[in-house]
Structure 1
């Protein structure tokens, strides 16, 4: 069974909390609604640009695995940058991963997201 926690950290803006809540349950439409039209997502070094690539990432990322997601940290860097730390456990290689989701905001929407190994 796949379980996910709902991010509730006050350190994160509402848009980021909404995005994470939708993303961890693979609701691509709800995730998409939190992004700017020109948003760029970089996941483990691979960039997704343009509406088709970004939406495909939101729809398909991690879909080949079963895993649980737990938000284990969050902090705001400044008015336009924040980081959420997610811990994933599941059937992917290695079985456990802690990832930083680094957000860049513009006009209360997500203009950029970089997903990378946690810099603990």
Structure 2
């Protein structure tokens, strides 16, 4: 299913298929990611988070729902791969600033 995403979020999901540096460039300098109860602040920490995740698991994400909640954009994506519990639908809560992602929270 095609889902129309705001440009910074579309760039994030495209970069997620690439590498950690590409993912980190989707964020503001002081951007933040919270995933699996851990928070990563700044582009370097975000790059390392993404590289660590992909060194352990291979996965794909297919966004299928998008909605707004105040200042946040909530994207639900179907995630499948070689990780425990696959497949799973995850919620990605993005907050944007100046055409970049300022924060991302990933949760069930």
In the superposition, the TM-score normalised over structure 2's length comes to 0.84
Contact 2:27 2:43 in 1 (8 A): no
In the alignment, the residues of structure 1 paired with residue 52 and residue 31 of structure 2 have an alpha-carbon distance, to the nearest angstrom, of 17
State the Cα distance separating 1:92 from its structure 2 match.
Answer: 1.1
In the alignment, the residues of structure 1 paired with residue 3 and residue 102 of structure 2 have an alpha-carbon distance, to the nearest angstrom, of 20
2:44 to 26, 34, 52: 52
The Cα offsets for residues 56-113 of structure 1, whole Å up to 9 and x where unpaired, read as: 01222243123332222112334x4201111112221122211111001111111100
Decide whether aligned partners of structure 1 residues 8 and 28 sit closer, same or farther in structure 2, where only a CA change above 3 A counts. Answer: farther
2:29 to 5, 18, 37: 37
Contact 2:95 2:101 in 1 (8 A): yes
Q: Does 1:17 align with 2:1?
A: no
- The count of aligned residue pairs is 108
Q: Does 1:113 align with 2:107?
A: no
In the alignment, the residues of structure 2 paired with residue 30 and residue 55 of structure 1 have an alpha-carbon distance, to the nearest angstrom, of 8
Deviates more, 1:43-52 or 1:13-22: 43-52
Q: Which runs of 5+ in 2 are unaligned?
A: none
In the superposition, the TM-score normalised over structure 1's length comes to 0.77
The residue matched to 1:95 in structure 2 has which SS?
Answer: coil
State the Cα distance separating 1:8 from its structure 2 match.
Answer: 5.3
Query: Which residue of structure 1 aligns with residue 80 of structure 2?
Result: 89
Query: Which residue of structure 2 aligns with residue 4 of structure 1?
Result: none
